[in-house]
Chain A
Amino acid sequence: MPLTMTTKRRLVTAALLAPASAWLFVFLVLPFIAMLVFSVGERGPAGGYQAAFTFAQYANLPARSAAYWNTLMLAPAGAFLCLLVAYPTAYYLAVKASPRHRLLLVSLVVVPFWTSLLVRTYAWMYILGSRGIPNLLDMIGIADVRLLNTPGAVLLGIVYGYLPLMIMPIYVSLEKLDRRLLEASADLGAKPLSTFFSVTLPLSLPGVMTGVALVTILLLGEYLIPQLLGGGKVFFIGNALVDLFLQSRNWPFGSAIAVTLVAIVVVVLTVAMRIAWRISGTRQVDLV
């Protein structure tokens, strides 16, 4: 029986999407379902999971409020700091840098990714630790400065580690901004600053939103930076999860925390995208 064109096209579509779909189903959807099931269960006597149906784990969430507090404060704050540093950089790269140097400069943004974040964060641990900057300050008479294991250290690590992820989407949206719109704005009497706030910034908002959403979402699950630079004093949900699953082996409680985290991410993402669409008047939002 000959296949019709539509059937053929559908088969091709299915074939193209099958590997990714299967992968996501096995390694994302199934584990998430498992996590949902665990989160309404009970901790077994020797740890792990024991079947039950109770919302006790969710009721117990306030016990980890410090982790939530740190995460929900420092993740957006870190993303915002990243934005403050990234926007001028991206603007320079996309608008001001000469096209000849642009490629080189943009690739420099990505160079830090050639070294593992772990190694780079370790370096910061040393720099901020007692033998680093505090030691130097001590030599010029400013004693007892503590940098490591503070929220500031975690924020610094966040901005350092996530800056490229913020720069890239903003750069992309600024780079494809139609230069004639800027000329049109000037032609209509807008001074450069006015053009920036009326045209450039609103039209680069999809990139800004993408960057903020991307960095915030990754930060909500951050483990490494608070672990190394927060040293157990400034810990994130990610650190709480490691603790619950690996140390106290309380899988149901850990699952409840993880499910709540996913719910928060979904809400943040949806709201951010809605705002970006509304302001930019388009539905093209890159990434995520």
Chain B
Amino acid sequence: MTSAPTNDIEFRSVTKRYGAVTAVSDINLSVPKGAFVALLGPSGCGKTTCLRMIGGFEQPSEGEVLIAGKVANGVPAYRRPVNMVFQHYALFPHFDVERNVAYGLRQLRPRLPAAEIARRVGEALEMVRLTGFARRRIHEMSGGQQQRVALARALVNKPSVLLLDEPLAALDKKLRTAMQIELQTLQRDLGITFVLVTHDQEEALSMSDLVCVMSAGRIRQLATPQEVYDRPADLFVADFVGKTNRFAGTLETGGTVRLGNGAALPAARADLAPGAVTVALRPEAIRLSRGTAGATTLEGTVTHRIFLGSAAEYSVAVDGLGDLLVTAERHSQSQNDLVAPGERVAISFDPGQTHIFPA
């Protein structure tokens, strides 16, 4: 309908059921052209089902999936302008690298000239730095190399959207970090919309422009990585993305939250009705100081310390509240910078950093 759609992918009230199980329930989602979107969530949250509905491997039970402005319901996978990097890559074991990468180009009708195919396969292999590997069989390649072949095989077709299903899950940590940077660079250079499915919040936060946090078939939050982390929409997002401390409290009229041990916090959210609430607080938003402090701050005893080099993680038993996780950057190399287990500490934080959710 619109001549120049601004969204490459659009979900309109999409629901997917398998028998009695609802995998995806009433999802609305717009992916702007050229964006790098991560669908993030625990396994079984429906993120892969969403990706497969874009790819054409599943059809929505209700609602519409639009690709480049056109309704794609019922369009088979082989007619969609999207390509996918499969989990575990799904490379063809009976072809060498070149034939794998050329596969999509060989399907085009009218046929492309052989020289054109060879040129574009060469370019694709160069792009993923696999020039010289054209004749290799797939089982002769390492996991990281297979990953690159899968990328080249998808990108050589110049899709308008690239789908990535847990593409880095099978790689070791070092390779994963390198590939994260590489994928991000590729996406910027090519300007193709990337839709990434991952259960790894670090991967989602580090690579994408937009993070779509999902759970139980629904979208919990769609926002930039920074916003998802700094302003989680609900308790689930706060918990799933990054580490979070939670305590129960009661929101009192007048805008104070009364914690379990009687301490009062000024509430940042005036829109909530008074009643039971959960307060969430990031470990790095908390400061520890030795000894006791003013009346409004909390006190506790350090029970564990995990030394991380540039920072330290503490577990603090807060009087009357329970355990609290605290991450403290180190500012100097003096021993004095670290608090030892058993020490009494005062806990302080900026009340603006807390997130208050209805319990």
Contacts and interface: CB of A to CB of B under 8 A. Distances in A.
A56 interface: no
A282 B95 CA distance: 11
Contacts of A188: 78, 83, 103-104, 107, 153-154, 157
A178 B56 CA distance: 18
Instruction: Tell me what chain A mostly uses at the interface: helix, strand, loop, or mixed.
Output: helix
B236 interface: no
Nearest to A189: B107
A181 B56 contact: no
A194 B109 CA distance: 12
A280 B94 contact: yes
B77 interface: yes
A184 B86 contact: yes
B92 A191 contact: no
Interface string A191-216: 11010001100110000000000000
B84 interface: yes
Question: What bracket does the count of chain B residues touching chain A fall in?
Answer: 20 to 34
Contacts of A280: 93-94
A244 to B, nearest CB: 45
A279 B94 contact: yes
A92 B95 CA distance: 25
Given A184-B86, A185-B103, A188-B104, A202 B94 contact: yes
Contact of A203 (B57, B82, B93): B93
A184 B90 contact: yes
Interface residues of A, number: 22
A232 B275 CA distance: 97
Contacts of A199: 92
Interface string A259-286: 0000000000000000000011110000
B93 A189 contact: no
A166 to B, nearest CB: 22
A189 B159 CA distance: 11
Q: Which of A187, A192, A203 has the most C-beta atoms of chain B within 10 angstroms of its own C-beta?
A: A187
Contact of A187 (B55, B88, B93, B108): B55
Contacts, number: 73
A100 interface: no
A243 interface: no
A101 B165 CA distance: 31
A180 interface: yes
Contacts of A138: none
Contacts of A183: 55, 57, 77, 84, 86, 90
Interface in B93-111: 93-95, 103-104, 107-108
B137 interface: yes
Nearest to B156: A188
Contacts of A189: 78-79, 104, 107-108, 157
A187 B92 contact: no
A189 B103 CA distance: 9
Interface in B137-157: 137, 139, 153-154, 157
Contacts of B90: 178, 180-181, 183-184
B351 interface: no
A200 to B, nearest CB: 11
B191 interface: no
A250 to B, nearest CB: 49
A218 B153 CA distance: 43
B83 A281 contact: no
Nearest to A282: B93
B155 to A, nearest CB: 11
B44 interface: no
Contacts of A34: none
A242 interface: no
B78 A186 contact: yes
A186 B82 CA distance: 11
Contacts of A185: 92, 103
Nearest to B94: A281
Interface in A135-190: 178, 180-181, 183-190
15 contacts: A178-B90, A180-B88, A183-B57, A184-B84, A184-B91, A186-B57, A186-B78, A187-B154, A188-B78, A188-B107, A190-B78, A191-B78, A203-B93, A279-B94, A281-B95
Closest 5 CB pairs of A and B: A188-B104, A189-B107, A180-B90, A186-B77, A184-B90
Interface of A: 178, 180-181, 183-192, 194, 198-199, 202-203, 279-282
Given A187-B55, A187-B78, A282-B139, 11 more contacts: A183-B90, A184-B91, A186-B56, A186-B57, A188-B107, A190-B103, A194-B107, A198-B103, A202-B94, A203-B94, A279-B94
